[in-house]
Amino acid sequence: MSMFARGWIALALGVAALLSTQIVARGADDPLPSWNDTATKQAIVAFVTAVTTEGSPDFVPAPERVAVFDNDGTLWAEQPMYVQMTFALDRVKAMVPLHPEWKDQQPFKAVLEGDMKALAESGERGVAELIMATHAGMTTDEFEMIVTDWIATARDPRFNRPYTDLVYQPMIELLGYLRANGFKTYIVSGGGIEFMRPWTERVYGIPRENVVGSSIKTTFEMRDGRPVLFRLPQLDFIDDKAGKPVGINAHIGRRPIAAFGNSDGDLEMLQWATMGGGVRFGLIVHHTDAEREYAYDRQALIGKLDKALDAAVLNKWTVVDMKGDWKRVFKD
């Protein structure tokens, strides 16, 4: 073998060794780089290690590794108003040329005049009326197109960024970490199932079939020789509070071993997931960072965290201190 050939072989072996070292180093990288090294992060890693280590008394087979996540306030920002509610208000303004009577009819009049006090006074009935008027009367394909166009252009008023930019980077990393360890991840939200489905896979890596949410009734129809699903102005299912375990059972069919939420609306989901025997994990995102995001809990009108915060102590759920546990909040 010539000296030239030996030189090339030595070089190739050196490059291979370097690449091997880099691969090992990358494999050893922190899977949760946006989390500070606090007890919260350590609890997450300890749980995942326990249920994925074969031979461990806490080992859970991969098909049973189900993790459920609330969306609003858990995976993306929910203040100062739920994103879907903002969508509904924008829809009222866009649809008013077709409904001139709305200018004198509550709660639409309040929306058009920007009277949030009057809108709040309309209560749950007023909100339901807005949702029915703006989310129904069209096919599922038409509604998905409207949502897709809106989510691509709408901007948060405080941060002036798309709402899908205001997802929590630490939670995105947590979703990836769980999936890398054999977990199936699901969204279980009080938000509309068909409002979330068009964008969750792109934003969270959660496919549309893994989204559980509130819904309105739909009916099968033939229109111009084509089969369609038509959205009716009638509520079908509210996936919130005690409805969340019901939705999990109906859509997923397995009891989760991990649940992640941020408000009293997630209390029953956390109870259902963590009180089933064996090693289980519950986590609550506590909004404590007014500078980088928002600070709110027991007195909040949106995302109220009161009973669930007390239950976290009783049930030994992990509580994220957003200000102390997260190196950064949003993805950029």
- Return the exposure string of 85-95: e unless at least 16 CB atoms fall within 10 Å of the residue's CB, then b: bbbbbebbeee
Q: Determine contact, residues 197/151, Cβ cutoff 8 Å.
A: no
Sign of CA dihedral 203, 214, 73, 261: negative
Give CA–CA dist 178/189, Å, rounded.
19
Element (H, E) at 259: strand 258-261
| Residue linked to tokens 């002036």 | 160
Predicted local confidence at residue 24, as pLDDT: 33
Give CA–CA dist 248/262, Å, rounded.
17
Q: Determine contact, residues 33/45, Cβ cutoff 8 Å.
A: no
Give residue-wise pLDDT tens across range 1-14: 443 334 443 433 34
Residue type, 311: A
Put simply, whether the predicted model's pTM sits higher than 0.85 gets the answer yes
Give residue-wise pLDDT tens across range 300-328: 999 999 999 999 999 999 999 999 999 99
Element (H, E) at 26: helix 3-27
Compute the C-alpha angle 240/60/200, nearest 5°: 40
> What tokens does 289 get?
């960072």
Rounded average pLDDT per 10-residue block, the chain, 332 residues:
40 38 47 98 98 97 98 98 97 97 96 93 90 97 98 97 98 98 98 98 98 98 97 97 98 98 98 95 98 98 97 98 98 79
Predicted local confidence at residue 110, as pLDDT: 96
Identify the bridge partners of residue 281 per DSSP, sorted by sequence position.
Answer: 258
Predicted local confidence at residue 323, as pLDDT: 98
Predicted local confidence at residue 124, as pLDDT: 83
73: left (phi over 0), alpha (psi -120 to 50) or beta: left
Write out the E strands in 48-133. 66-69
Q: Determine contact, residues 51/59, Cβ cutoff 8 Å.
A: yes
Which residues lie closer than 8 Å to 13 by C-beta, 6 or more apart? none
Give CA–CA dist 259/271, Å, rounded.
9
Asked if CATH classification 3.20.20.70 holds for the domain at 33-79+164-325, the reply, yes or no, is no
| Residue linked to tokens 């030595």 | 10
> What tokens does 239 get?
């996936």
The structural domains of the chain, with segments of one domain joined by +, span 33-79+164-325
Predicted local confidence at residue 332, as pLDDT: 75
